[in-house]
Amino acid sequence: MHLKTFVKNIPIVGSLAQRLYRMVKSEIAKRRGTIGSKEYWEKRYSTGGNSGAGSYGKFAELKAGVINEFVAKHKIQSVIEFGCGDGNQLGLAQYRTYLGFDPSPTAVSRCRERYGQDPSKEFRLLSDYRGETADLALSLDVVYHLLEDAVFENHMVTLFGSATNYVIIYSSDSDDNRGDEGTHVRHRRFTRWIDKNLPAWRLVSRIANRYPYRGDHSQGSFADFYIYQMRLNGAPPTPRRVGGLPRPQSA
């Protein structure tokens, strides 16, 4: 039985049950140890894991519906994604051309095998990013999995530096990490970071999740859609120097 389900079934109510769950989860995490973002995902994929619930079922359909509608409405010709994962989400996408990057060699290999006969799609390791650009850049269920500050900043700089018109981020937007201590989740107020470091971009739309998180990751998500557009009178998508990183770098 899943740990959280087990705790919920204990005849304890309210905050006491939540505190118990957090204590047990934190202790398990300490014993396992924490590994870096890149290592975590490669280990997950190489041992048979997938991109998670957010890339399957109703969540995949939700994301595809929102993004496909946006692509059609704005006549997007090219899409670039950082964190393509195992490619399952992409199976519902309607893009003219697509370039996907991921830090996991196993994930990239899976995508190439699955879409090898589709010339409109290409996949590369994140370490092989060389400044390619597209009309729209995507970051879906990625930001809150980036534990390290430098990796987060690299991701954001690269993401916005690769987009010529639009960026869509699907993530939580909070600094509240209570209950996720010791896990491979770190929530960040990324909108504030963008306002401070990427002035050439403006948030034009936030679309709330149709399935909000209510304690069960299989039924709800804490991620919403955040759509950014380059300001008409703004500078090219060259970000300020942040965190000692003068230009886009791969994680």
Domain of 15 in residue numbering reads as 1-32
Same domain, 48 and 170: yes
Residues 27 and 53 in one domain: no
Entry pTM: 0.79
121-125 and 163-171 beta bridge pairing: unpaired
Does residue 11 sit in the same domain as residue 94? no
Domain CATH code at residue 83: 3.40.50.150
Q: Are residues 13 and 43 in the same domain?
A: no
Kindly state whether residue 239 falls inside one of the protein's structural domains: no
Q: What is the pLDDT of residue 191?
A: 98
- Residues 68 and 1 placed together within one structural domain of the fold: no
201-207/224-230 β-pairing: antiparallel
Are the beta carbons of 80 and 132 closer than 8 angstroms?
yes
| Calpha distance 41→104 (Å, rounded) | 6
List residues bridging with 206 in a β-sheet: 226
One domain for residues 103 and 11 = no
Q: Do residues 38 and 28 both lie within one domain?
A: no
Same domain, 225 and 174: yes
39 and 92 both lie in a single domain = yes
Residue 6 lies in a domain: yes
Domain count, the chain: 2
* pLDDT per residue of the chain (251 residues) written in tens, 0 to 9: 444 444 445 444 444 444 444 444 444 344 334 578 888 888 988 899 888 888 999 999 999 999 999 999 999 999 999 999 999 999 999 999 999 999 999 999 999 999 999 999 999 999 999 999 999 999 999 999 999 999 999 999 999 999 999 999 999 999 998 877 667 889 999 999 999 999 999 999 999 999 988 888 889 899 999 999 998 754 444 443 333 333 333 33
Given a contact cutoff of 8 angstroms between Cβ atoms, the answer to whether 248 and 151 are in contact is no
**Residue 182: its pLDDT value, please?**
65
**CA dist., res. 100 & res. 186, Å (int):** 23
Residues 155 and 216 in one domain: yes
Same domain, 14 and 86: no
Residue 245 domain-assigned? Answer: no
Q: Is residue 138 part of a domain?
A: yes
